[in-house]
Structure 1
Amino acid sequence: MKEEKMRSALDVKVGVKPVFAQLVHSDAWEGPCRVGDSEELTPEAERTKGKKAFQEFQENLSKNLSAEARLLEPVYMEYGEDFVVSEREFEKLEPDLQNVDLFLLSYRLPGIERYKKPVAMMGRGITNVDIAAYFRSRGLEGYAPIDYNELNEIISLMQIRKAIGQTRILAVTGGELITWGVVSSIWNLEDLKARFGTDCQRVSITRFFDEMEKVNQKDATELAEKLINGAQKLNIDKEYVVNDVKSYLATKSLMEKYDCNAHTIPCFELCSSRVPEKLKVVPCLTHTLLKDEGYPSACEGDMSVLLAMTVLMYISKKSSFMGNPWMKDENILQVTHSVPGLKMNGFDKPDLPYELWHFTAAGWGTKVQIDLADNEEKEVTLARFNPSATKVLVVKGKTVGCCFHERGCSPTVDIEVSDAREIIHQQADFGHHLAMVYGDYVSKIEKLSTLMDFEVIKA
């Protein structure tokens, strides 16, 4: 197979620019804001003290900063008792300014707001909260973390936001803006890009099938055999698995061509073309394999669930499931589709045990089957954005059962929730598919919402 060139948006890092700000007075004197022995207050003493503290500042950063940060070259900057930073000092920030996502200050630096970039300063109060309030009152981002744990949490949220902003969706379409099967999908893609940075490249179904014809048979067969060998049970002929691997490889080829790292395709429009019946393919396996590589991939051209899936995958660092929610009883929500991920315990964790089944009565169409209730982690978070991408519905639950269906969408996972009836009622504002990951990420989604300006509705 050819060398992989695609990169998940999860690979992005937050550019953190440490700025050590040192106030150096022109002479030694005491006053209402300054006390000490005269030898401690000379410019030379203050500068020496500052240089030593700058070294400690750098050492602490290298030991404690999150791996989600890209540590840019630390800068030492001085200003005097007039509290004006010279242009010569600001020039020190220019070389890598385009890579800065967050200025990390050691102290006040008057004028740094000119760059309109987020600023953080650690501390247990006083100066850091003063700076944060100054920035926030002017519509800028200011943070006052107390320690490295809080700073790294901010960096984590900024990394998720940056990843969402660098997500580019390959949307295979039949020419429609809203797909027939999910009319509650996000429809204003220009607004989505303006607010979140998420972009979309539309490609016709015809173009997609043309790409399938170019897929190398040997590559498809090798990957199909690998998947078959890893399955605990095979309930589909090898030739049909090869067909669906071709669909996956064609999708990846188009994603690479158009620099995309997320995907969706309209199942109903695809089916209506009757080409899938001719080629004996369904998109289910493609969604599973892409998500396991860190690329959000949603069924039926559903942008609302794709955005929610993107948030969940980027927050959890796990593959995901999605499906149709159905109220089984007052406290059980069933979710059904044929797209569980093998990496739902984490991209760096072993694959979940899986089987390969067929989707159609005729025996073709590969679907991965995983018992989603047979996992050590039982807690799950489900989510979906509304059609205007201004609100996200978030549900917390626990898996209590799972079953497979020989034909059509499968598996169906039973999720114990506090009030299934209320969830269905809430979905009248959001639409029907829900994305799902293992673990409780409700609190982190709420924190992310403050950075990205969307509302969280819990049900």
Structure 2
Amino acid sequence: MEYKEGFFCESKDFLINIQNCEQVMREIRFTILLFILIITFIIKQSIGSVKKENKNMIQKLADVKLNVRPIFIGLIHQYRYEGPCRFGQGEELEKDYDIMANMELYKQFKEDVKKHMPEEVNLLEPIYVERDDWFLSREEMFEKMAEGIENVDFYLFSFGIGRGDIYVEFAQRYHKPQAVMPYQCCEAAVNTSAVRNRGFEAYAYRNWEDLTVHMKVLRTRKVLASTRVLLASRFNSSRSYSSSDNFVDLNYVTEKLGVQFRYLNVHELFDQLHMVDPASNPTLPGRKAYNITPEDMIEIEKISDELIAGADEVRMERDMVISSVKAYYLVNKLLDVYGCNAFTIPCPDACSTRRLNEEKITFCLTHSLNNENGIPSACEFDINALLGMTVMESLSHQAAYMGNTNAVMYKDGKMIPLQGFSDEDLKHITDERENLYLTFHSTPNRNMHGYGKEKSSYGLAPFAYSGFGATIRYDFSQDAGKEITLMRFAPDAKRLFVGKGKVVAGSGYDRVNCDEGVFFAVENQEDFFYKQINFGNHMIITFGNYVKELQMLGECLGMEVVTA
């Protein structure tokens, strides 16, 4: 074979001349380059799609469902007879009649359960088992009842005489919350007492309405156990310099309620507010963080403009609103990153860094927007209040409000001033004032009357006199006469305070700072005060009466409930 000077290509039994070879190579290189460009484009599109899918992927507590498994235990008599365990005459004493009657009862049980379960419940497929009048407890029966037990939160049983031992043994074996359905003659008292006095969790109900309420309560317990709190801290991981009444032991709170706590340094948070190279943050040098991006700023400005456009009154500059919305947006990015669904940050601890002043932000708007979007969010690193908001937002399907809660006292016929509140705020009130209370904070929101409803009217005003720190302003006077429920966990996490009142007036809509709140009347101010001082300052306020639900929650959490 003759070799020509230069490069050559060989293909089976002939040679391609060098010119053709170079042309082929150019085409190959072009094809490879085109392929690389296409693959790169596809990857970028995929990443963008994933980012879009992951955006706002916080696992909200509103999505938590209580998984309920109905179980019907039938009884089939094998022989024809009558006596203390069986009544009837004629065909009613036949085995076939038992089979037919059990099927009818099972059908009715399924219909009743489906009809009365609230939307908070994920109703699992019912299970039917039966025994005969040998009263044997066969292993396959328990295996069937326990199918998928790892996904079940609560069991609701229907059965009659001669089957209570199965109910008791089920509790002893599996240690799951369980109950007897309403209107089961005798079985409620017999078997609930039997299970409870063996140290296991069991319930019974007078009627379906009580059961419906209790399902919401048990779902709230599951919500607490599904709560993962992002704590942005500076000096201390369990309290701030304005929240000495915080939980004494967060580890105990985790053990008792299932709440998990995750931590973030406030300076790392502040650094990530800046739209800079995410690896250039002073607190995290060289580590790529989650700083605000140009794409984020587009959304931040959109949210800000919507807030401004929807407000009845705006008493601050647009750029100051944007600064506060930026803080809200970053917090939500970090909630997603840390796998959390609740948030709190200290006030004086963060304020004294001077960085709130430098960044022109407060977290008031963050808390307001979080709560109205189903993310519990509390001021001043108050973890007790945060979990109280978690509870009330779960029970009521309304965004909660929290604030400093003080008795309104008088001297020489005039109200003793509380911060910016004075007798001037009560000049339109003509009713007796002996039992007045005041709760104030600049963190109301637009969904205090219900998620999914039309948002309440509001204004926007600064927290600081210098014009920064956006706050929602809400006039509680429009709610005069409405009933409210107040609650707070005790610092020892062993007791629960529950109060009720009626809105009398609002104040502070036209002011700044924390001077915004609600006056309300309680039944007995003295009783309320001397009970409240065992629980703490910030009370959670929710429209409506939820005293019964909170008493039931206290029972299933093993907490003493103190009412006022």
Q: TM-score range by the shorter chain?
A: over 0.9
Q: Identity of aligned pairs, percent?
A: 31
Contact 1:287/1:298 (<8 A) preserved: yes
The C-alpha deviation readout for 1:118-140, integer Å capped at 9, x for no partner, is 22222253122212111111122
**Counterpart position of 1:19:** 71
User: Secondary structure of 2:83's partner?
Assistant: coil
The C-alpha deviation readout for 1:94-123, integer Å capped at 9, x for no partner, is 432112122111103513221111222222
The residue identity in structure 2 corresponding to 1:48 is M
The within-5 A match list for 1:179-328 is: 179-213=240-274, 214-215=291-292, 216-328=296-408
**Displacement of 1:181 after TM fit?**
0.8
Whole-angstrom distance in 2 between the partners of 1:361 and 1:60: 59
RMSD: 2.0
**Displacement of 1:89 after TM fit?**
1.9
- Superposition TM-score, scaled by structure 2 size: 0.77
The residue identity in structure 2 corresponding to 1:455 is E
Contact 1:371/1:402 (<8 A) preserved: yes
Selected match of 1:91 from 140, 143, 147: 143
Once structures 1 and 2 are overlaid, which stretch shifts more, 25-34 or 133-142? 25-34
Selected match of 2:170 from 73, 94, 112: 112
Once structures 1 and 2 are overlaid, which stretch shifts more, 303-312 or 25-34? 25-34
User: Secondary structure of 1:143's partner?
Assistant: strand
Whole-angstrom distance in 2 between the partners of 1:243 and 1:133: 58
The residue identity in structure 2 corresponding to 1:269 is D
Whole-angstrom distance in 2 between the partners of 1:446 and 1:59: 29
**Displacement of 1:38 after TM fit?**
6.5
Selected match of 1:133 from 178, 193, 214: 193
User: Secondary structure of 2:477's partner?
Assistant: coil
Selected match of 1:441 from 537, 542, 546: 546
Whole-angstrom distance in 2 between the partners of 1:20 and 1:425: 49
The C-alpha deviation readout for 1:303-329, integer Å capped at 9, x for no partner, is 122222222222221112111123322
**Displacement of 1:353 after TM fit?**
0.8
RCO comparison, higher one (Cα < 8 Å, 6+):
1
**Counterpart position of 1:363:** 467
Is residue 454 of structure 1 aligned with residue 564 of structure 2?
no
Contact 1:118/1:141 (<8 A) preserved: yes
Contact 1:17/1:104 (<8 A) preserved: yes
The C-alpha deviation readout for 1:318-359, integer Å capped at 9, x for no partner, is 112111123322422222111002111111222111000011
- Gapped runs of 5+ residues in structure 2? 1-50, 275-290, 410-433
Is residue 166 of structure 1 aligned with residue 226 of structure 2?
yes
- Superposition TM-score, scaled by structure 1 size: 0.94
Whole-angstrom distance in 2 between the partners of 1:365 and 1:263: 18
Is residue 77 of structure 1 aligned with residue 182 of structure 2?
no
User: Secondary structure of 2:205's partner?
Assistant: coil
The residue identity in structure 2 corresponding to 1:411 is E
Whole-angstrom distance in 2 between the partners of 1:412 and 1:48: 63
The C-alpha deviation readout for 1:376-435, integer Å capped at 9, x for no partner, is 662222222221111222222222222226332131321222343443433332221111
The C-alpha deviation readout for 1:125-179, integer Å capped at 9, x for no partner, is 3122212111111122222223321221221111111111211111110140321
**Displacement of 1:229 after TM fit?**
0.7
Whole-angstrom distance in 1 between the partners of 2:86 and 2:258: 47
Whole-angstrom distance in 1 between the partners of 2:156 and 2:521: 43
The residue identity in structure 1 corresponding to 2:226 is Q
The residue identity in structure 2 corresponding to 1:192 is V
Distance of aligned partners of 1:65 and 1:178 in 2 relative to their CA distance in 1, 3 Å threshold: closer
**Counterpart position of 1:415:** 520
The residue identity in structure 2 corresponding to 1:341 is N
**Counterpart position of 1:429:** 534
**Displacement of 1:19 after TM fit?**
0.9
Distance of aligned partners of 1:371 and 1:250 in 2 relative to their CA distance in 1, 3 Å threshold: same
Rg larger for: 2
**Displacement of 1:66 after TM fit?**
2.0
Whole-angstrom distance in 2 between the partners of 1:362 and 1:220: 22
Whole-angstrom distance in 1 between the partners of 2:193 and 2:536: 38
